[in-house]
Amino acid sequence: MNTTVKIAGVTFKNPVMTASGTFGSGMEYSEFVDLNRLGAVVTKGVANVPWEGNPTPRVQETYGGMLNAIGLQNPGIDVFIERDIPFLKQFDTRIIVNVCGRSIADYVEVVERLGNQPVDMLEINVSCPNVSHGGIAFGQNPNSLFEITKEIKAKAKQPIIMKLSPNVTDITEMARAAEAAGSDALSLINTITGMKIDIHRRTFALANKTGGLSGPAIKPVAVRMVYQVANAVKLPIIGMGGIANAEDAIEFMLAGATCVAVGAMNFVNPYTTQEVITGIEAYMCRYGIEDISELIGGVR
């Protein structure tokens, strides 16, 4: 049985990754999960300088999901290179670094700093709904997305993955813009902008007022968007949005994803990534699937 997949020349031992922001840089979850088992660890977003993030409360539960407005708190690229990359290098897994910024120059600075680092791919976060500058602003307009993708692609030493926002009218328009600008792959979806109101205190449940919705509640939206994008562009897709088990992951692959990422469900069950991997293997056995690539885009 072959579970390896390939994106932009990078081979992954299996298609299962962590979704950015839900797994830190792997340190915390390495107490639970054997990181060697994972196809890749996708790190929390890192910027050129440390970011404080938003005030608390930053997280709230919703029906079958959760809202977060962390605001991309991160220690900055210096600490990340010094501490997080060497940590991840101890493991036999691919490293994908999620990059965030407030301006194109910020993104480019991080991308250039990572140029000589042992990381496999860069995921460009142009879809965070919880910061006032940068983030989603680049991901909601095809021209802006084209421009930033092109600038980053010109400077990047590693293949780049543009991470798309679902908070748009037509996600295929964004996918086409990223493809035209030279992105090597796409990941989707980032969180869906949402709001929760505390009716007892008559205030917003999150200090940031709005937050990004994730978890099983958003899965059907994510599967639909992966399907649409897979049919609109030729780029390989990393699919995510509420994946809780192998069945969910297989849905994403059949919709057109080459890889899948586990996000909010890491918080619910820290062993989710491993369980998804073993579950996919069991599914392949059950249906006599020799090569996992048979699943990708299996539904047309």
Partner 1 sequence: MEQKKKETGVVYRQQEIATGIFDMWVETSLAAQARAGQFISVYPQDKSTLLPRPISICEADAEHGRLRIVYRVAGKGTKEFSGYRAGMKVDILGTLGNGFPIAEAVKKRVFLIGGGIGIPPMLALAKALKDTDTAAIDIILGYRDKELFLSEELARYGSVHIATEDGSAGAKGNVMDAIAAEGLEADIIFACGPMPMLRAIKQYAQEREIPAYISLEERMACGVGACLGCVVKTREVDHHSHVNNARICTDGPVYLATEVEL
Active-site residue numbers?
A: 128
Question: Which of 241, 221, 47 minimizes the C-alpha distance to 131?
Answer: 47
For partner 1, the closer CB: 24 or 182: 24
CB of 257 to partner 1, least distance (A): 22
**Cis ω for the linkage preceding 189 (within 30 of 0):** yes
Contact 243, 39 (CB under 8 A): no
CA distance linking residue 208 with residue 73, whole number of Å? 14
For partner 1, the closer CB: 31 or 290: 31
CB of 167 to partner 1, least distance (A): 21
CB atoms under 10 Å from CB of 53, counted, come to 16
CB of 132 to partner 1, least distance (A): 17
Rounded to 10 degrees, the C-alpha dihedral 254/43/6/225 comes to 30
Residues 6+ apart with CB under 8 A from 203: 197
For partner 1, the closer CB: 51 or 146: 51
> Could you give the count of Cα atoms lying within 13 Å of 170 in the half-sphere of its Cβ?
6
CB of 90 to partner 1, least distance (A): 18
For partner 1, the closer CB: 265 or 277: 265
Beta bridge partners of 221: none
CB of 212 to partner 1, least distance (A): 12
CB of 31 to partner 1, least distance (A): 5
Give the three-class secondary structure for 231. Answer: helix
Query: What letter represents residue 53's amino acid?
Result: G
Contact 225, 171 (CB under 8 A): yes
Task: Kindly provide the b/e burial profile for residues 126-156, where b requires at least 16 CB atoms within 10 angstroms of the residue's own CB.
Answer: bbbbbbeebbbbbbbebebbbebbbbbbeeb
For partner 1, the closer CB: 55 or 298: 55
Binding site for partner 1 (CB under 8 A): 21-24, 27-29, 31-32, 44, 50-53, 56-61, 63-66, 68, 70, 73, 75-76, 79, 215-216, 264, 266-271
Residues 6+ apart with CB under 8 A from 45: 20, 21, 72, 74, 98, 99, 100, 125, 128
Contact 220, 270 (CB under 8 A): no
For partner 1, the closer CB: 72 or 148: 72
CB of 88 to partner 1, least distance (A): 14
For partner 1, the closer CB: 131 or 181: 131
